[in-house]
Homo-oligomer: A and B are copies of this chain.
């Protein structure tokens, strides 16, 4: 029997399940967790759901969000645990030990880097989102899909594909979503909430950020600068900073986008975005880290000093590149 077949049998034949998803919860981890939880409940199972860290406000409307536990628990050796969307057990943070203590650990994920840490592993790196895998499982397990289950799965898939814009979006992704829409969810209401809507203060801060735009290297590098003072005068919160840096990369011709956020006279936070450059490398040289196209660091020093240091490294990185 394949792991998938064993997982289906295991769920059918048992009554109690502990569901976990990863820290820094995102649309896929939350949506997959809640859809799986609702489906198992509809099958008459008893479930408990846990995720390290609070659920972002924009996902709090999903059914069952208020049932998710966030405080550490003791695991038991007779548990069946299902871990969703987590490439390794460390991503479970305070729930890692509890999950690993389980009699059976079911690992359901779509990350290509998944460490196969489960007793049973259902890992499909072709799936655009863990939500896509959970959808196929629910279809196989048989409970009727409700509008709220469909919403959770829609949020899972649409967030991990950037509303179907990313190259991980496949024909199957769209087929799944075609089916989900039949259960009566409103893509407009959900998308507005999870993708487009920002508080007023975000736009005031964005205006300030756009006012500070500077270009280097003939337009290849775009820089924006904000300060704590400017942010506070805008009425914006630190949450509002999230997403501002993306505007640098979305400028035509820009390869590397940088946001300097002057947090105090002694510290500057720096965000990097790129179209093709490896900015995790750049951030690494400055004792930061992150992903290939999105990274950051935090540097001690005044603005002018930090900016000079960052620009030196950025231009260095450029010189090392083959001519483009």
Cα distance, A204 to B170, chains bound together (Å): 35
Contacts of A172 in B (CB 8 A): 178
Cα distance, A304 to B177, chains bound together (Å): 46
A164-202 vs B, CB cutoff 8 Å, 1 = contact: the mask equals: 111101111111011101100011110110011111100
**B196 touching A181 by the CB < 8 A rule?**
no
**A164 touching B164 by the CB < 8 A rule?**
yes
A–B Cβ pairs within 8 angstroms, 26 of them: A158-B164, A163-B163, A163-B165, A164-B177, A165-B191, A165-B195, A166-B187, A169-B181, A169-B188, A171-B178, A171-B181, A173-B178, A174-B178, A192-B250, A192-B275, A196-B250, A197-B250, A199-B251, A200-B215, A200-B251, A200-B252, A200-B253, A203-B247, A204-B213, A206-B206, A207-B210
Contacts of A162 in B (CB 8 A): 191
Cα distance, A188 to B173, chains bound together (Å): 14
Contacts of A60 in B (CB 8 A): none
Cα distance, A172 to B175, chains bound together (Å): 9
**A210 touching B204 by the CB < 8 A rule?**
yes
Cβ of A116 < 8 Å from any Cβ of B?
no
Question: Residue A165 contacts which of B196, B199, B250 (CB distance < 8 angstroms)?
Answer: B196
Closest 4 CB pairs of A and B: A167-B188, A165-B191, A174-B178, A207-B210
Contacts of A171 in B (CB 8 A): 178-179, 181-182
**A188 touching B293 by the CB < 8 A rule?**
yes
Cα distance, A179 to B163, chains bound together (Å): 17
Cα distance, A174 to B171, chains bound together (Å): 9
Contacts of A178 in B (CB 8 A): 171-175, 178
CB closest residue in chain B, given A187: B169
Residues of A participating in the B interface, judged by any CB pair closer than 8 Å:
158, 162-167, 169-175, 177-179, 181-182, 186-189, 191-192, 195-200, 203-204, 206-207, 210-211, 213, 215, 219, 246-247, 249-253, 275, 293
Contacts of A252 in B (CB 8 A): 197-200
Contacts of A253 in B (CB 8 A): 200
Given A174-B175, A203-B251; A187-B167 close (CB under 8 Å): yes
**A174 touching B167 by the CB < 8 A rule?**
no
Contacts of A215 in B (CB 8 A): 200
Residue among A177, A247, A293 with the most chain B CB within 10 A? A177
Question: Residue A203 contacts which of B164, B188, B210 (CB distance < 8 angstroms)?
Answer: B210
Cα distance, A147 to B139, chains bound together (Å): 32
Residue among A191, A215, A249, A293 with the most chain B CB within 10 A? A191
A92 to chain B, nearest CB (A): 30
